[in-house]
Amino acid sequence: MIGNFSYSNPTKIYFGEDSLNFLNEELPKYGKNILLVYGGGSIKSTGIYDNIIKILKENGKEIFEDGGVMPNPTVEKLYEGCKRAKDNNVDLILAVGGGSVCDYAKAVSVSTYCEEDPWDKYYLRMEDVDNKIIPVGCVLTMVGTGSEMNGGSVITNHAAKLKIGHVFGDNVFPKFSILNPVFTYTIPQYQMVAGFFDIMSHILEQYFSNEDDNTSDYIMEGLLKSLIHSSKIAVKNPTDYEARSNIMWTATWALNTFVAKGKLTDWMVHMIGHSIGAYTNATHGMILSAISLPYYRFIMPYGLQKFKRYAINVWNVNPEGKTDEEIAKEGLSQMEAYMKEIGLVMSIKDLGVTEDMFDGIAKGSFILKGGYKTLSHDEIIHILKKSMI
C-alpha cells in the first residue's frame, strides 16, 4: 500500500550541452547583486567560470564571489558566506560546482537573515525557516547528491564532531538548475566513482524501507539498473556522453523527493556516514561504499523478501533451487563485485577510521526508525567493526 502524501518540486531543470545558455532566461528574474559560490577553483581551469562571468556581465549583474567551498562545508564557512551575502545585499546565490557547493548555497540562503545561530536553529533543533530566504540557482559540475533539485543541506561542525543534514521545504529548493553532462568530464576518477555510489546509496536507502509492492520500488529498480550499466561504461571512458548524461539524470531523480513518496525510507547508512565524515573528513561517497555492505548484511534477515527481490530484479540472480536467504546473499555478493569493479573503497580503515573513534561515531549517528531494524549503539559499533575488514 502506498502511504498518503503531497508532492511538489518547484526546481526548473535545464539539461544538455547547451543548457548554460538558459542562464540568460533566468537572470532577469532576479535583482542586480549575485553571489557566485564555487569550490576550489577548478571551474576556472575548465573555462566554466569565464563563461558564467561573461553571461552575468552581459545581464548587467554585480558579481560578489564566495570561493573555496570545501567538499564537506563547515559551519565556519557558512558564517563567512552569510556575512558576505548580507553585506552585499545579495539577490541571488549562484552555486557552481557539485553537491557540497549546492548544499552550502542553500545553507547560506536560509541563514543570512536568521536572527539566531543558524547551526543551532536549523542543524541542531531542525526548525523551519521563518526568515527571508535568498533564492538559489545551481550550475552542476559533479553528480551524486541530487542537491540540484532538493532542499537538502549538509553542514559539518568539526569542533562538535557532528555532520548534520537538514532537509528544508520546497521554498528552499533551487529555483533553477543547469545540468550539462560535459561539465562533469574533468573531475578526478576517484571523485567520479564516489559520486556514483552516492547515487546508488540514495536509491537503496529509499528502496530498503518496507516490503510493500510500491510503484516507487519499480522506478528505483530501473534507476539502479541504469546506473550500474552506465557507470561501468563511464569508468572505462569518462567522456562517454550517453553514459555520463544518464548518470547525471539518474542522480537527480534519485534524490529529488519523487521516489520517496509512499515510502518510509531508511537513512541509517547516511547517518553513520555523516558521523564518520565529522571525524575523518573523507570523501562522502567512499564512506557510504565502505559501510553499506556491512549494514545491509546486518539488516537483511529483517527484510529478507525485499533483499530477495533486489537480487532478482536488479542483479539478475537466478532463484531456481535456492532458498530466499541464498538468493538475497547472492544479490549482495553481486553488488560487492560491482563495487570492486568500479574502484570503490571497501573498508573505513582506508579512510582514516580507527577503533578509538567507534564510540564517538556511534554517538554521533542519529538513530532513525524507517528501516527494517532500529539500530542500537552497540549494533552501530558492530557494523563499524565489520566495515574495517
pLDDT digits over 340-384, tens only? Answer: 999 999 999 999 999 999 999 999 999 999 999 999 999 999 999
345 three-state secondary structure = coil
What residue ranges define each of the domains in the chain, with the CATH number in brackets?
12-183 (3.40.50.1970), 189-386 (1.20.1090.10)
Q: Give the number of other CB atoms < 10 A from CB of residue 101.
A: 29
Cell of 22: 538558459
| Percent of the chain whose predicted confidence (pLDDT) is above 90 | 94
Q: pLDDT confidence of 41, banded at 50, 70, 90?
A: confident
Q: pLDDT confidence of 331, banded at 50, 70, 90?
A: very high
Count how many Cα atoms sit within 13 Å of the Cα of residue 232 in the half-sphere of its side chain: 11
pLDDT at 198 > cutoff 70: yes
Q: Give the number of other CB atoms < 10 A from CB of residue 5.
A: 10
Average pLDDT (254-282) is 95
Q: Give the number of other CB atoms < 10 A from CB of residue 93.
A: 29
pLDDT (0 to 100) of residue 1: 62
Average pLDDT (156-171) is 95
Average pLDDT (266-272) is 97
Give the residue among 345, 91, 1, 8 at the shortest CA–CA distance from 201: 345
Residues written for the chain: 389
Average pLDDT (272-299) is 97
Cell of 357: 573513534
DSSP E strands, the chain: 12-15, 33-38, 62-66, 92-97, 136-140, 152-157, 162-167, 176-179
pLDDT at 262 > cutoff 90: no
pLDDT (0 to 100) of residue 24: 98
Q: Is the CB of residue 165 less than 8 Å from the CB of residue 154?
A: yes
Between the CA of residue 131 and those of 16, 48, 260, what are the distances in Å? 35, 33, 28
Three-state helix/strand/coil letters over 40-92: CCHHHHCCHHHHHHHHHHHCCCEEEEECCCCCCCEHHHHHHHHHHHHHCCCCE
**Is residue 182 packed enough to be buried (19+ CB in 10 Å), middle (13-18) or exposed (0-12)?**
middle
Dist. CA 188–CA 286, nearest whole Å: 14
Dist. CA 277–CA 256, nearest whole Å: 23
pLDDT at 3 > cutoff 90: no
Dist. CA 271–CA 292, nearest whole Å: 11
Q: pLDDT confidence of 210, banded at 50, 70, 90?
A: confident
